[in-house]
Structure 1
Amino acid sequence: MKHSDDYSNEKFKRRAISVEEAQERVMQYGKPGTAEFVPLSEANGRFLAESLHAPHPFPHFRRSGMDGYAVVSADTKNCAENETVWLRVVDEIPCGYVSDRPITSGLAARIMTGAQVPKGADAVVMLEATRLREEAGDVYVGLKKKVEPGNNVTPVGYELEEGQLLLEQGRQLGAGEISVLASFGIHSVPVVRKPRVAVISTGSELLSVDEPLQPGRIRNSNSFMLAVQIREAGGEPYILDSVQDDVEAARRTVLDALSGFDYVVTSGGVSVGDYDIMGDLVRQEGVDLLFNKITMRPGSVTTAAVIDGGLLFALSGNPGACFVGCELLVRPVIRTMLGARQPFLPRWEVLLGADYHRVNNFTRFVRARTEIRDGRIYAVPAAVDESSVMISIKDSDCLIVIPPGTGQLRTGDKIEIIKLEGGGWS
């Protein structure tokens, strides 16, 4: 699919498209990933490459629901408050022990929670509803209340029958899923291979994080931020060396990265200045430019292109815009490659936690934090939300979505937010 004709070849002329159209264009390159098997101990957070079915019923034996006595329920039909039925105790059954003594009329077995109910018994009487006596060396349990067949007995296959769907393809594995897999002995898990994503920052002003500050230069923080975002999305980030302000050097670096990684994400160099090398690179011959302007703030100059069949995301060098661009565009493509059922971050309707005055002709994504007041969820905009501001990212767990042309918003107005990964409530 060619999109280059949508754009003028002049550097300062760009045709903006909506966020939704930009997402649609890049999502076409979220190709399904290949499967690999990993040990159960390493499967947390991964996505299933195929649906799994129960290899056996669960539980696979009749299980006692509590501590008590396994009995034949018919023996209790004459129980009453003033009439005790006495049964001879012939066995004691802890968890993991299988009794070889069938329970017939007149007999009972002491049994622990979770233990296998012996043959012949069809009910378990709770310990608190019994009393004991000894007679001629034998122990008898006394019952005063009638029990129904199946009382306190978990039948075979109560939770899952053999062959029933266990976990569906595309399911992300967490503590509950890992527990299920362990219960069924699935110790080698088929998961989707994590997409390998190269992260490259551009700009001659960048210092590595271990270099001392120099006049007019800044440390490369975007690469580390992007690496975390990519990892949270399910990808495997690889931070490559930053690129100086040289178009041909950038082209060689990007081409090399595209040949060895599933996707390449760059930050910086996408504006309209004389040294914005990524903006120049994507206009070169042989590049299918998907878009180079989006009707959003921050990050309107966010760019995507296909080079030699590989997908390049060229994000703004401003930290706020870089962060938003990764969440809205890079993340869903990674999740699609992983087979995630919901590749996009969830959207909620909440209440605005503070007045907001800024008006834009583009959709604005405002960094914010959620909090609960009187049982309702509010989103409080960051005090400083400029594209170039980095510090407020750490305090944000959502993005407020403000449509273009929206007037002044007041505290308590209904708004839509995009909930960020791992965000909680204060």
Structure 2
Amino acid sequence: MEKNLTGPSKFNRTAVSVSEAQALIVPYINKSLIETIPLIEAHGRTLAEDVTSPHPYPFFRRSVMDGFAIHSDDTLSCSKDESVWLEVVDEIPCGFTSSVPVGRGQAARIMTGAHVPDETDAVVMLEMTENKIEDGRTYIRLQQVVTSGTNVTPIGFELDEGELILQGGRQILAGEMSVLATFGIHHVNVYRRPTVAIFATGTELLELEDPLQPGKIRNSNSYMLASQVREAGGEPIMLGSIMDDLALARLKVEEALEKYDLVVTSGGVSVGDYDIMGDLVRQDDVTMLFNKVSMRPGSVTTAAVKGGKLLFALSGNPGACFVGFELFVGPAIRKMMGVNNPYLPEWTAVLGTDYNRRNSFTRFVRARLDIREGMLYALPANIDESGVMVTIKDSDCLIVIPPETEGIKAGEQVKIIKLQGNRMW
């Protein structure tokens, strides 16, 4: 039986810092299974193994520009006063090789990217030549020395055979797709997307299609969490809402933990009489990692382990639920998929307006980014209460306000956490 790390009372809570909470989660994050998928389906997925080049690239010498492939030694006597005439014996478009040997005193017309004949060692650009036709033969005139290797990309210029091109744990985006396709890697081994079960708790919750009723609210957190799960790379499984019934909640959470890789709930983690998740994670067969974090919003954010799988119980307040996911659940999902650095990037920005609120805990303030005269500014949301949801849509970062701060004036530098999502940044 797994040991419970806290006492039996829901009031017995010891706050840990955000970094401590993140560290407590890490040992229980299990990497997802590996699957092989076609390259065309790999965008956004995470490589599960290193990829090395199966051949050098380029694997043939190619011309840097339109011109003529020549023997550089033929130009050694060139000067403004002395010209060299070379006979053009072939034309080489892209995708073709020379049809005849190009001997000394000869040249081949060649296009950008085309295969440079093996016997030649340089390409002279078209604009450096003049041409004439005599007896049905074409000649070009050169008046300056061309060195060996000029305008020729050598074999393996970008990558040698066997060289590491992509490291396991790297997300596959447009550049990675290009590299993999270049080397003919048509299937890739990636981590399977973790399945994430999503519950909301509370008798007060309505489904989206339900008409409004006094004292009830719609279950919007589940839809927000589903979007966050997708952005983190997971596959959300919407399991609706659970009434304030501990036995029912326990049954549904246990079923979800058996079937899916991760479970996330919103609501029911405070200290009220009906906060069922707070009670559930203190039961004897659950290992509670933490149930209080020194952060605002979302100090009641809770994480536990049952049967080797993680359970995150987030605040029912939308602002706190959103922040709790970004700091803890999102990184866990990305780490399950083998992402090398699963945490959101931290930047430095200039505070755009005064922030006068004092904090006993570290506060993560929703904000939007702006560029003014080449400087990055962070503008705090006008309303940043944990129960406020409307400003979430306008935020692309979190300003990190240290505890015991009397206030920060506009113009001071602040640390920000860049949020995921397809915003302007």
TM norm. shorter chain > 0.5: yes
Correspondence 1:4 to 2:37: no
CA distance in 2, matches of 1:286, 1:32: 23
Q: Give 1:190-339 correspondences, 5 Å limit.
A: 190-339=189-338
Q: Give 1:366-377 correspondences, 5 Å limit.
A: 366-377=365-376
Partner of 1:351: 350
Partner of 1:47: 46
Q: Give 1:54-133 correspondences, 5 Å limit.
A: 54-133=53-132
CA distance in 2, matches of 1:128, 1:354: 58
Partner of 2:133: 134
Query: Are 1:36 and 1:192, in contact at CA under 8 Å, matched by a contact in 2?
Result: yes
Q: Deviations over 1:323-344 (max 9, x none)?
A: 0000000011111111111111
SS at match of 2:21: helix
CA distance in 1, matches of 2:424, 2:218: 31
Q: Displacement, 1:425? A: 5.2
**How many residues are paired up?**
425
SS at match of 2:242: coil
The residue identity in structure 1 corresponding to 2:270 is S
Query: Are 1:370 and 1:424, in contact at CA under 8 Å, matched by a contact in 2?
Result: no
CA distance in 2, matches of 1:241, 1:370: 34
Question: Which stretches in structure 1 are left out of the alignment for 5+ residues?
Answer: none
The residue identity in structure 2 corresponding to 1:267 is S
Q: Displacement, 1:195? A: 1.1
SS at match of 2:139: strand
CA distance in 2, matches of 1:181, 1:357: 51
SS at match of 1:28: helix
Q: Provide the TM-score with structure 1 as the length reference.
A: 0.97
CA distance in 1, matches of 2:38, 2:303: 36
Stretch moving more, 339-348 or 415-424: 415-424
Q: Displacement, 1:213? A: 2.0
Partner of 2:419: 420
Q: Deviations over 1:53-77 (max 9, x none)?
A: 1001101111000000000011111
Partner of 2:404: 405
CA distance in 1, matches of 2:423, 2:255: 39
Question: Which stretches in structure 2 are left out of the alignment for 5+ residues?
Answer: none
Q: Deviations over 1:196-244 (max 9, x none)?
A: 1111111111111222222221111111111111111111111112111
Query: Are 2:368 and 2:394, in contact at CA under 8 Å, matched by a contact in 1?
Result: yes
Stretch moving more, 398-407 or 278-287: 278-287
Query: Are 1:67 and 1:127, in contact at CA under 8 Å, matched by a contact in 2?
Result: yes
CA distance in 2, matches of 1:336, 1:3: 25
CA distance in 1, matches of 2:349, 2:301: 28
Q: Displacement, 1:142? A: 1.3
Q: Displacement, 1:2? A: 6.6
CA distance in 2, matches of 1:133, 1:325: 75
Find runs of 4+ consecutive structure 1 residues off by over 4 angstroms.
423-426
Query: Are 1:49 and 1:170, in contact at CA under 8 Å, matched by a contact in 2?
Result: yes
SS at match of 1:20: helix
The residue identity in structure 1 corresponding to 2:291 is N
Q: Percent identity, aligned pairs only?
A: 60
Partner of 1:35: 34
CA distance in 1, matches of 2:223, 2:215: 21
Stretch moving more, 336-345 or 381-390: 336-345
CA distance in 1, matches of 2:241, 2:289: 24
Q: Deviations over 1:233-269 (max 9, x none)?
A: 1111111121111111110110000001111000011
SS at match of 1:110: strand
Q: Displacement, 1:285? A: 2.3
